[in-house]
Amino acid sequence: MTLRQPEAAITTITGVVDSFGAGGGKASGFVELWTLRFALDMWRSESGELCRSPLKIERQVTDAELRDYMQRIRPRTMVCARVTHQGTGAALLDALLSDVVVDAEFDARIHELNSPVYRDHPELGRLTLEPRVLRWFTGQAAWCGSQIGITVGAVDADGFDSAARVVVEVLASQVSWTERLNRALLDALLPLKNGSWRGDDPHLEAEGFLRRATLCSVAADSDGTLRFGFDADDMFTDHAIQVSFDPATGKLDAGIV
């Protein structure tokens, strides 16, 4: 059921924050303001009607306000807020209220979101889907003598099977993938490290760079897209390294994230 609210109507609602919690981005045209963003997985209108369609909520805030809201709006928790509805599925936050929310259906939904979901794969072992909203199954696998995290992206059973096959193929060819990844890292990031990111560090040779860039995860989508995550050992301050593979072009793209 989707509730349709009058345009620009200020109303008090309660709801369950989704698994992403609150975040923010710079508001367009406002140098000093951020846009707070979060979504309710399910919510009740002021009249008590229950809506199971997500409600995306925004508000322009200062940097200090953003940090405060992100502390108060936690993933998979109940909130009470005064909002201005902007049509179906969207609202502007007027105020976050401190009212205690008591709702059995909300409690059940939070329990469901917090409960891990498992899926066993004949070659990848037990994979865990948590939180459920992300549609990512995670597990562990051996890679060149070490353990790394693996992620299988799936929105349905067919997608899971396709993405899992991609991960299995990558793991079976990890030596050749390691060679390709090393070339991508050295081509894109070694010059960057020895240039604008050098700071007071000594000049790095290829061997030293690769020794510090440690593969920690492989993620696959059903279309064959891959993301390889690396620990950068503080070479780029608090940034990590990600190498993406585009199956349409067969190319690897290395960058810091």
pLDDT tens per residue, range 205-229: 999 999 999 999 999 999 999 999 9
**173 and 71 in one domain?**
no
Both tokens of 180, joined, read 């390709």
Residue ranges making up the domain that contains 30:
10-108
The CA distance from 200 to 186, in Å, is 20
In a domain, 206, yes or no: yes
Both tokens of 47, joined, read 């009249």
**Short-list 163, 237, 147, 225, CA closest to 200:** 237
**181 and 103 in one domain?**
no
pLDDT tens per residue, range 47-58: 999 999 999 999
* pLDDT band per the 50, 70, 90 thresholds, residue 8: low
Cβ neighbourhood burial of 126 (10 Å; 0-12, 13-18, 19+): exposed
pLDDT tens per residue, range 82-137: 999 988 899 999 999 988 788 999 999 999 988 888 999 999 999 998 766 568 89
List beta partners, residue 219.
151, 227
Whether the per-residue pLDDT at 238 is higher than 70: the answer is yes
- Decide if 51 contacts 89 (C-beta within 8 A): no
Q: DSSP string of 67-107?
A: HHHHHHS-TT-EEEEEEEE-STTEEEEEEEE-PPP--HHHH
| pLDDT of amino acid 91 | 96
What CATH number should be reported for the domain holding residue 101?
A: 2.40.50
Amino acid at 43: W
| pLDDT of amino acid 20 | 87
| pLDDT of amino acid 25 | 80
The CA distance from 73 to 91, in Å, is 16
| pLDDT of amino acid 257 | 87
| pLDDT of amino acid 76 | 94
In a domain, 2, yes or no: no
Strands 146-153 and 214-220, by their bridges, are parallel
pLDDT tens per residue, range 142-187: 999 999 999 999 877 788 999 999 999 999 999 999 999 999 999 9
- Report, as an integer, the average pLDDT of 17-44: 83
* pLDDT band per the 50, 70, 90 thresholds, residue 31: low
Q: Which residues contact 176 (CB under 8 A, 6 or more apart)?
A: none
| pLDDT of amino acid 5 | 45
Domain count for the chain, please give it. 2
The CA distance from 177 to 243, in Å, is 11
Neighbours of 2 (CB within 10 A): 9
Both tokens of 46, joined, read 């002021």
Which residue in this structure is represented by tokens 């279309």? 223
**133 and 104 in one domain?**
no
The C-alpha angle with vertex 152 and arms to 151 and 153, in degrees rounded to 5, equals 115
- Decide if 141 contacts 209 (C-beta within 8 A): no
**97 and 122 in one domain?**
no
- CA quadruple 118, 74, 35, 257: dihedral positive or negative? negative
**163 and 79 in one domain?**
no
Whether the per-residue pLDDT at 81 is higher than 70: the answer is yes
**128 and 23 in one domain?**
no
What pTM does this model have? 0.66
